[in-house]
Chains A and B, each alone.
With several copies, the nearest count.
Chain A
Amino acid sequence: MTEELFDPNAPSDSTVAARLAAEALIIDVDGFEGPLDMLLTLSRTQKVDLRKISILQLAEQYLLFVERAKELRLELAADYLVMAAWLAFLKSRLLLPPDPEEDGPSGEELAAHLAFQLERLQAMRDAAAQLLARDQMGRDFFVRGIPEQVERVRRVRYTATLLDLMQGYARLRTKDEFRPFVLDREAVFTMEQALERMRGLIGFAGTWTDISSYLPDDFRTDAKRRRSATAATFAASLELAKEGKVEIRQSETFAPIELRRKRHD
């Protein structure tokens, strides 16, 4: 619809054409899909290959359009004004000699990219038209009109999301009974602990005493803890015997092991 705004046989006087175009654009600004679309439409007035388009001229046409819109006190959408500001900047870059102090892209580079964008948009429009011109299903060719009764056989496909996977893993790693690489010391009474405990108690062991009485209270009832504490206490007793601090005796196999402080006579 917007294409019709421009008569292809109009006089090639670009300023007249541009003015006419600008007027038409103002009336029909709602018909445009944004500033890039409008630039593409404006570029048609140059009647040259998009690759040879004068971006400077295009920028001037666009700025003229915005000026006219302001004169008519028409409100333009923000992105049209943003584009106008950018084109004004581009125009100054193209007209002024390059500032050696400045690092940014040159006016030519910016202009070339805008030309590329316009050409690409036009190419996509042409591609869309070519696509729609193809033979289409339901218009040029048709599918089977009487599908056969096809019996459905159900097959189950299993699926999971990344979230399921991570949650599953997190669940495992936070499971209380699961700590595969951290030694569970809850039920372990170490020899060091036993030694420390016995060193404090040994001074009172003047008479033969069953080593089981040296087990800490909280390691007596639970079988696992008791086993660990017994082993540790026994090992600690041997250590103390080696140091010459205690004596150990056992009357027969499996009889209670007893110890007392070694007297130093």
Chain B
Amino acid sequence: MTDHDDEQGQSLFAAPPMGEQERMVEAILFATPAPVTVSELTGRMPHGSDPATALAHLRKRYEGRGVRLVRVGEAWAMRTAPDLGYLMQKETVETRKLSRAAVETLAIIAYHQPVTRAEIEEIRGVSVSRGTVDQLLEMGWIRFGRRKMTPGRPATFVVTQEFLDHFGLESARDLPGLKELRAAGLLDNRPPPGSVPGPGETSDDDLLAADDEQSELFEE
């Protein structure tokens, strides 16, 4: 739709040299604590700029430095090198102590996303308290995903960019052990033969649908 505009812009205004573009990306990323998406960079840089290439150059430039350029989902940010963490004053708020239930729920959402409350309960074998989910939502580590196309259209949960940022993950695909877990079939939503007691009882259809959507999410 905007192809036309782009062509026009490129002919009218020459994009800045790549070295300049790199400086611009550097300045923008240094200025902002939150990760910045490529499209936001495009929006803030002069017309015709190629932030993706500039990011690649910049990433190389900061390799081995005290700060690094890291990818967070679809966005990029500058972060200090983890090996220098000991130099920092830890006056920054310590990670709030998460309950075991909250940590487990978070892991299940991260590895099974998009996942419904019923599926979380099925995996943990107990009902998920409102407080647990609320806490994770409030921390900004999880959010609501698309509703499932199953009866009742249940809401799903997915992890956020902030979650990725906090744990230094480039994407949900980089979760530790994800491949192994999937290979072992432990991320399958295997329908129970007959019914299993527990509050997280889920119908076969839900589970099968969940499996489809999950593979959709991770295969890109």
Q: Do chains A and B touch in the complex (CB under 8 A)?
A: yes
Q: Residues on A close to B: CB < 8 A?
A: 33-37, 79, 82-83, 85-86, 104-105, 109-110, 113-114, 116-117, 119-121, 123-128, 130-132, 134-162, 164-182, 184-186
CA distance A160 to B102 in the complex (A): 10
The smallest C-beta distance from B218 to any residue of chain A, in angstroms, reads 11
List residues of chain A with CB within 8 A of the CB of B178: 173
Question: Would you give 23 A-B contacts (Cβ < 8 Å), ordered by A?
Answer: A34-B125, A35-B197, A79-B198, A85-B197, A113-B196, A117-B123, A124-B104, A124-B108, A138-B92, A139-B95, A142-B31, A144-B30, A144-B33, A146-B34, A150-B32, A151-B89, A152-B89, A153-B91, A165-B107, A168-B106, A169-B108, A174-B189, A180-B122
List the 4 closest pairs (A to B, CB-CB), nearest first.
A36-B125, A34-B126, A105-B193, A148-B31
**Contact string against A for B residues 194-206, beta-carbon threshold 8 Å, 1 for contact and 0 otherwise:** 1111111110001
B126/A166 in contact, CB under 8 A = no
A121/B168 in contact, CB under 8 A = no
Q: Which of B83-106 contact A (CB under 8 A)?
A: 85, 88-98, 100-104, 106
List residues of chain B with CB within 8 A of the CB of A83: 197-198
Knowing A142-B79, A142-B88, A155-B94 touch, does A36 contact B198 (C-beta < 8 A)?
yes
List residues of chain A with CB within 8 A of the CB of B166: 136-138, 159
The smallest C-beta distance from A115 to any residue of chain B, in angstroms, reads 11
Knowing A124-B104, A172-B108 touch, does A140 contact B190 (C-beta < 8 A)?
no
Contacts A123-B181, A158-B102, A180-B210 supplied; 12 other A-B pairs, CB < 8 Å: A36-B125, A37-B126, A79-B198, A104-B194, A113-B196, A116-B185, A127-B175, A131-B175, A134-B167, A138-B166, A143-B33, A184-B200
List residues of chain A with CB within 8 A of the CB of B27: 142
CA distance A110 to B164 in the complex (A): 37
Total contacting residues, chain B, CB less than 8 A? 78
Q: Residues on B close to A: CB < 8 A?
A: 27, 30-35, 77-82, 85, 88-98, 100-104, 106-108, 110-111, 122-126, 135, 139, 165-169, 175-178, 181, 184-202, 206-207, 209-210, 213-214, 217
CA distance A258 to B104 in the complex (A): 51
Knowing A33-B124, A153-B89 touch, does A142 contact B80 (C-beta < 8 A)?
yes
Knowing A151-B89, A181-B217, A182-B210 touch, does A132 contact B31 (C-beta < 8 A)?
no
List residues of chain A with CB within 8 A of the CB of B214: 180-181
CA distance A79 to B167 in the complex (A): 35
B194/A155 in contact, CB under 8 A = no
- With beta carbons under 8 angstroms apart, the residue of A114, A162, A172 that contacts B123 is A172
- With beta carbons under 8 angstroms apart, the residue of A120, A148, A151, A169 that contacts B30 is A148
Most chain A C-beta atoms within 10 Å of own C-beta, residue among B189, B209, B210: B210
